[in-house]
Structure 1
Amino acid sequence: MIFLRYEGFRSYLKLYPITVAILAINIALFVYDFWLGGDHYFIRNGVLLVDPYTDYFSFDEPWRYVTSIFLHGGFDHLLFNCFAILVFAPPLERILGKFNYAFFYLFAGIMGNACTALLETDTISSLGASGAIYGVYGIYLYLALFKKAMDEGSRRTVYTILIFGIIASLLSPNTNVWAHLGGAIAGFGFGFLYDKVLNTRK
């Protein structure tokens, strides 16, 4: 089972620096905005603002495509996403390498936001790491379907997480389904590209 972690705290910090950095940024921005008198500064200036009537692709402030990936609207939102990153990101960081993984995480999050800007028909604000996290799930889905090296326990875990994730996305209010979909598609496509093109060059 690739998702079980046996490392100690120091080993985790050393082995998965990008995962640790992502978690630290998520937590630091949340703590500042909600607990240290930040008055939601980063949320006000960093969430993705989608308005299909006046700014179809949300290009007026393009940095929000990136900053919104690291912002969360409440403690439960932060806790759930950080737990998913803590558990599911480390194996992928080891597989891709830290630089490829850092690029991929941002890529998946941006693609989730792009999908939101393209397909959302209402005026909304969007934030959270779930687009990038579903990108991680998307790569694992590719590995589960096409790479025999993944053990059966990990494969079943991927299928279970995706099934429950889809159900929760459809039933939970205020969930950005488009970000989940865009991130997952980006992850699956990146998995194919990495397997068929990038990985063969090593």
Structure 2
Amino acid sequence: MEAIEQPGSQETVVQAKVFPSITLALLVLSVACTWLWKAFPGEVSRWLYATDFEFWHGEKLWSLFTSLFLHVDFLHLAFNCYWVWRLGRVLEQEVSRPQYAALILVTTLFGSLAEFAVSAQTGAGMSGMLYGLFGYMLVERGRRPVFRRVLDSNTIALLLGWLVLCFWLTHRRSMPVANFAHVGGLVAGMLCGFAASGRKFRKVALAGLCGMLLGCVAPLFWAPWHDNWHYVQALDALKMHIKRSFQGPGFSGVLSPAPAAARMDGPGGGGSQNPAEGL
């Protein structure tokens, strides 16, 4: 049991502690999946991670969520696990389990979609979700004293500073970071906080989430700013031409599709099986 002081009064409310089972499950699954990914990279990627080619063909859409459990190295894993445990277990005690699970799913989805829109990769790791939890608690800390104790001014400065530093490190090519997964998760988490707070702009927050969803989902179907998207369109047109040639009269040859080696991977084209790091 835990005594919590209510703001503006001398009363305390005795609140039963909730075992942070969802938060603990996130950590255990991340450790297990990352270890398996390092041991069996091809098999694990086949199930938990998708390339831009697969997304643009409507395949493995679940990896928008499952890439959450994959981390690039031990430091990446340890850093994310520390902050998810520090923030997540507090949040899991303050909101209902369904609300907490929904927040995890929403922030993970928006983090993956935002990163895919910019880099044609979802990135890897819990950082998009982590910044979503941070954003939610940042908005709600005004009416939840326990959030203020966890998110003091130093912690807020540290997490926001790391967000900015990661952009600089990526720009300098010192460390590839899924920066827009951080931003997408943070914005989604803050909007969820405003939507849950019952404030007068709750409808605006919900409208913002809907608009953000539409904007982030669109690149799964139409992304002409990515070179690989044009390659996918050309390859699909070539396959359709071959199929129609087989079916039509007077066919005298087969057009060979472009070799797989022609595909453009890397920062400009995406599609790499080595996703950018998260937090």
How far 1:153 moved relative to its partner? 7.0
Conserved 8 A contact 1:141-1:158: no
Bigger drift between 109-118 and 159-168 goes to 159-168
Q: Which residue of 2 aligns with 1:177?
A: 179
Matched, 1:33 2:37: yes
Q: Is the 8 A contact 1:69 1:129 kept in 2?
A: yes
Whether 2:113 is the aligned partner of 1:79: answer: no
TM-score between both structures, scaled by the size of structure 1: 0.76
User: Is the 8 Å Cα contact of residues 48 and 126 (structure 1) preserved in structure 2?
Assistant: no
Partner of 1:194: 196
- Do the aligned partners of 2:115 and 2:121 also contact (CA within 8 Å) in 1? no
Distance of aligned partners of 1:40 and 1:84 in 2 relative to their CA distance in 1, 3 Å threshold: farther
> In the aligned structure 1, how far is the partner of 2:187 from the partner of 2:121?
22
Deviation at residue 40 of structure 1 after TM alignment? 4.6
Unaligned ranges ≥5, structure 2? 1-16, 170-174, 200-279
Return the structure number with greater helix share: 1
After superposition, the C-alpha distances for 1:76-96 in whole angstroms (9 at most, x for unaligned) are: 111111111111111111111
Q: Does the CA-based 8 Å contact 1:140-1:158 persist in structure 2?
A: no
Q: Determine whether 1:100 maps to 2:99.
A: yes
CA contact 2:55–2:61 (8 Å) conserved in 1: no
Distance 1:156 1:191, change over 3 A: same
Partner of 1:140: 137
CA distance in 2, matches of 1:181, 1:196: 24
Q: How many Å separate the matches in 2 of 1:85 and 1:148?
A: 19
Amino acid at match of 1:133: L
Which of 167, 170, 190 does residue 164 from structure 2 map onto? 167
Q: Residue 24 of structure 2 corresponds to which residue in structure 1?
A: 20
Matched position secondary structure for 2:113: helix
Distance in 1 between residues matched to 2:136 and 2:156, nearest whole Å: 12
Return the offset for 1:101: 0.8
Q: Which has the larger radius of gyration?
A: 2
Normalized against structure 2, the TM-score is what? 0.57
Aligned-residue offset at 1:59 = 3.6
| Change in CA separation of 1:128 and 1:151 when aligned onto 2, cut-off 3 Å | closer
1:188 is matched by which residue type in structure 2?
M
- Once residues 78 and 94 of structure 1 are traced to their aligned partners in structure 2, the CA distance between those partners, rounded to angstroms, is 24
Greater shift, 97-106 or 153-162, is seen at 153-162
The separation in 1 between residues aligned to 2:192 and 2:134, in whole angstroms, is 11
CA distance in 2, matches of 1:186, 1:62: 19
Cα separation, 2, equivalents of 1:45 and 1:148: 39
Structure 1 gaps of 5+ residues are: 1-11, 198-202
